[in-house]
Amino acid sequence: MKTLDKIPTNKIERAGELLKTGIKVGGNYVAYYGKKMVNPDLSKETLNQNNAEDIYEGLQNLKGSALKVAQMLSMDKSIMPQAYVEKFSLSQFSVPPLSAPLVRKTFKKYLGKYPEELYDSFTPDAVNAASIGQVHQAYKDGKKLAVKIQYPGVADSISSDLALVKPFATRMFNLKGKDSEKYFLEVEHKLLEETDYILELKQSLDMVQACGHIDHLRFPNYYPAWSSEKILTMDWIDGEHLSEFASKNKDQVKANRIGQALWDFYMYQMHHLRQVHADPHPGNFLVDETHLIPIDFGCIKKVPNDFYVPYFELANPKIINTPVLFEAKLYELEILRTDDSPEEIQYFTGIFHRLLSLFTQPFHGDYFDFSDEEFFGAIATMGEEFTKDTQLRKMNGNRGSKHFLYINRTFFGLYNLMHDLKAAVNTQNYLRFIH
């Protein structure tokens, strides 16, 4: 497998890598439109595949927050073309790893010893590699361990990466005025947290203690003595990534059991702990014979009460369908703004009424079947409509509290995982675990 001896870390190097990627994508468009002149019926499928390949290649060389963006986009199956979803989803657990010499250098710098001095055995080649770090296998005192190593320079490049992305995001989402800065600061803050493995170690230990009693969940043990700000050591647990399990599973009972554990895990965090694992992609969950195994707690989002209350009140059909109450909640959550025109108020109230009436359906009863193709088809159709809505592009895009970014991402990812599993669950079952 191809390995990396160096990752671009300064702003000029990283901007240059993105520029090279942009030139390749531009060439793909020139080639596509040239062929389109000869063959007007030509579809965009090949163009999407070529662009996805080139963009992903550029991002995987950069790693860090640039690749994290691809990982986040791959969760958006209802809007992204399939070629992008398939290629970007590789960023979840399959990208070129660091070379063995660079790994040894990282150990010496952050733990003061080389890996062979710390463990009884250590595999020099990574087993998995993702956006911010890669995983190696080790043994110590008869224990099989997973050792996560962060890529050099990731934390230092986050601010400059976001500065490069900001102009494109501002145009894409039509963000206007200084208020838009709160969204970028929220992303920067969470990405910086994800590069702090000491914080991740604490969050992991806290989450294991808080959620260990939930049925059919299993967690690794974590080892502070062999961990540092850039290295994290935990038990190795054998299992399949959730997406691999879901793609070949034929046992509906097991699918429902794993789906119930996943749902209970998230609802318990959200409603009881008021903080949540906000990175629900398949690479962060393993499945063994009987358990769901969460393995990454780098991204934990705290849910403040002044956001939590109106957010979940909007999942109540009575409030959704009572115009005065519904509009009041939209103001509380900063979806409607005091400087909105009557046209903007009418437009965004209508959009969010449609969106929430659909998206909150799993909360409208005691059971929900996530294999429901009609439900997910309606979400995909609505997403397509929004991307083509010219009126939406003219409106001020600064909509919603900054907390929406990670909470909506959490629910979007959770729904996709539940749909992959085709699980039917009791949506109120998590209440059994709240003492």
End position of a domain, from candidates 72, 92, 112: 92
Local confidence band at 181 (pLDDT 50, 70, 90 cut-offs): confident
The whole-number pLDDT of residue 90 equals 43
Instruction: Give me the DSSP letters along 362-397.
Output: GGSSSEEETT-HHHHHHHHHHHHHHHH-HHHHHS--
Of 53, 56, 74, 76, nearest in space to 66 by CA: 56
| CB-CB contact of 295 with 237 (8 Å) | yes
* Residue 158 counted as domain residue: no
Of 62, 83, 66, nearest in space to 74 by CA: 83
Which residues are registered as beta bridge partners of 149? 134, 231
Q: How far is CA 180 from CA 186, 323, 390, in A?
A: 10, 28, 21
* Residue 44 counted as domain residue: yes
Give backbone dihedrals phi and psi of 145, rounded to 5 degrees, phi first. -125, 150
Convert 169-204 to b/e letters by CB count within 10 Å (16 or more is b): beeeeebeeeebeebbebbbebbebbbbbebbbebb
The residue behind tokens 């159709």 is 381
Cα–Cα dist 8/396, whole Å? 35
End position of a domain, from candidates 92, 113, 142: 92
Q: What is the pLDDT of residues 273-291, one digit of tens each?
A: 999 999 888 888 999 999 9
Cα–Cα dist 89/244, whole Å? 12
| Structure token pair of residue 330 | 């939209």
- 3 state DSSP class of 277: strand
* Residue 203 counted as domain residue: no
* Residue 341 counted as domain residue: yes
Cα–Cα dist 399/333, whole Å? 9
Q: What is the pLDDT of residues 406-431, one digit of tens each?
A: 898 899 889 999 999 999 999 999 99
Of 360, 315, 341, nearest in space to 325 by CA: 315
Rounded (5°) CA angle 21-125-234: 105
* Residue 325 counted as domain residue: yes
Domain residues for 42?
11-92
Cα–Cα dist 90/241, whole Å? 12
The whole-number pLDDT of residue 359 equals 93
Tell me, what DSSP letter sits at residue 362? G
* Residue 319 counted as domain residue: yes
| Structure token pair of residue 373 | 């193709």
Local confidence band at 171 (pLDDT 50, 70, 90 cut-offs): low
Question: Which pTM was predicted?
Answer: 0.79
Alpha helices in 112-241 (DSSP H): 115-118, 154-172, 181-194, 197-211
| CB-CB contact of 204 with 293 (8 Å) | no
Half-sphere exposure for 124 (CA within 13 Å, toward CB): 10
> Considering the chain, what percentage of its residues have pLDDT values greater than 70?
71
* Residue 327 counted as domain residue: yes
pLDDT value at 261 more than 80: yes
The whole-number pLDDT of residue 97 equals 67
pLDDT value at 48 more than 70: no
Which residues, 6 or more positions from 171, have their beta carbon under 8 angstroms from its beta carbon?
A: none
Give backbone dihedrals phi and psi of 368, rounded to 5 degrees, phi first. -150, 140
Q: What is the pLDDT of residues 188-238, one digit of tens each?
A: 788 888 889 999 999 999 999 999 999 999 999 999 999 999 999 999 999
Local confidence band at 42 (pLDDT 50, 70, 90 cut-offs): very low
The residue behind tokens 């398939």 is 86
Q: How far is CA 31 from CA 82, 87, 369, in A?
A: 21, 21, 44
Q: What share of the chain is helix, strand, coil (3-state, %, to 5)?
A: 60, 10, 30
* Residue 71 counted as domain residue: yes
End position of a domain, from candidates 48, 72, 92: 92
| CB-CB contact of 354 with 382 (8 Å) | yes
How many structural domains comprise the chain?
A: 2
| CB-CB contact of 420 with 246 (8 Å) | yes
